[in-house]
Amino acid sequence: MSEPYMNAMPDWLVSGLWLSLAVAVVIVGIFVVGARLFPTQQATNATYVFGEGKRRVEIRHYLRAIGEDFAEDHFVAGQHVAFYLPERDVAITFDARAFFRIEKSETFAVLVEHEMPGHHLGDRLPFETPTLEQEEEVDTTLAAFAILGVPTEATLSEIKSAYREKVKDVHPDHGGTQEEFQRVREAYTTAKNYAV
């Protein structure tokens, strides 16, 4: 047998490679055309903010309400913090490691959990803060009960039952979205704190 014949690929293998390449190009074309014809909708006017984003909004609102100057996303003692009060030398962070590192410096550190409502920040600050009306807390609480579909005088067991039923509908594994699921989880966290 001659050497060129040994190095040549069989016709069926060459045909298979060309066919798989053609199929891959067609699939890519379908995705490109689909992305242009049916673009993903971006949530520009979100009415409900979750997790750390929600807490940032609440803390920002609270600090403005009590008249404190602050800087966001600031570096203090070599650590990144969510808020810094320069006049008081107070760092507010969501990161426990940053909190413990800042605590060793002269700056007063405040750790905020993702579940803590922003208006409770005043309880942790090292200075006196004015008392604010809690209208926003009432609105958030009413919204939480409404999301779960239970009355505001619901018991803890009724809230848990409503949460379980709601999660079945909105869980990402069952056809819901991550945003809906997060919204229901946060509503449950809020509502169970006000259970009768």
Residue ranges in 38-177 assigned as alpha helix (H): 51-65, 96-103, 135-148, 156-170
* 158 has pLDDT over 50: yes
Burial class of residue 171 (count of CB atoms within 10 Å of its CB; 0-12, 13-18, 19+): middle
Q: Do 135-193 and 51-123 have the same topology in CATH?
A: no
* 169 has pLDDT over 60: yes
Strands of the chain, DSSP E: 71-76, 79-85, 90-93, 108-111
In CATH, what is the architecture of 135-193? Orthogonal Bundle (1.10)
Does domain 51-123 correspond to CATH entry 3.40.960.10? yes
How far is the C-alpha of 58 from the C-alpha of 80, rounded, in Å? Answer: 19
**By mean pLDDT, which of 14-18, 24-28, 128-132, 149-153 is the weakest?**
128-132
- β-pair partners for 91: 84, 109
pLDDT at 108: 94
Residue ranges in 69-155 assigned as alpha helix (H): 96-103, 135-148
Q: What is the pTM of this model?
A: 0.47
Band the pLDDT of 135: cuts 50, 70, 90.
very low
- Residue spans of the domains in the chain: they are 3-37, 51-123, 135-193
| Residue percentage of the chain with pLDDT more than 90 | 21
Q: Which residue is associated with the tokens 């009432």?
A: 138
Residues 6+ apart with CB under 8 A from 27: none
Mean pLDDT of 87-110: 92
Q: What is the pLDDT of residues 41-90, one digit of tens each?
A: 544 333 444 567 777 878 888 888 888 899 988 888 888 899 999 999 99
Q: What is the pLDDT of residues 31-42, one digit of tens each?
A: 888 888 877 654
